[in-house]
Amino acid sequence: MTNVIRALAAASVLAAAPAAGQTLLLDVTTTLPLAAALDNPCTATPEAIAFTGSTNLAQRVWLMPDGKLRLQYAESTAMQGQEPGLLTSVTYAVSGTSERDLEFDPMAFEILDFKKVGRTAGTDDNFHSVLVLAFDPQNLQLQLKLEGACDNGMP
């Protein structure tokens, strides 16, 4: 997995060469644990599928000459899930990558990355996990959380 994030970082984030006059505010590469109980909203029955995993995240934040911020990141996420207390052996799995290069006035916002949830048995549906990457201009570091969705994020 380390190789994956290194490759991602090299191929995308680092390849986007900074323009002159930018000031580097943050440059971190880290592995963040993920844990959440998600309901599959595509099914009528409420569930509490316990997901655990991690996200490898490479992130840079630049201060631009005009006062805007530039956020570059590449992430690679893998998770497994199981519904506790059930005798069935159905397991869930999520894996995916994303990368962004955004420039904006200093403000708080979230980026939502939808990742398909696969399962070992049962009917396939449109269950997606949503990796929420929250940016706060006060501390610059992306904070991660998880949500569930019954769509793929298309407009």
Task: For the CB of residue 8, give the shortest distance to other proteins in the complex, in Å.
Answer: 12
- Contact residues toward other proteins (CB under 8 A) are 12, 15-16, 100-105, 107-114, 132, 153-155
The rounded distance, in Å, linking the Cα atoms of 114 and 89 is: 25
Please identify, using beta-carbon distances, which residue of 89 and 139 lies nearer to other proteins: 139
Closest C-alpha to 13, from 30, 36, 29, 33:
29
Cβ neighbours of 6 (radius 10 Å):
16
Please identify, using beta-carbon distances, which residue of 83 and 101 lies nearer to other proteins: 101
Please identify, using beta-carbon distances, which residue of 84 and 105 lies nearer to other proteins: 105
Task: For the CB of residue 103, give the shortest distance to other proteins in the complex, in Å.
Answer: 4
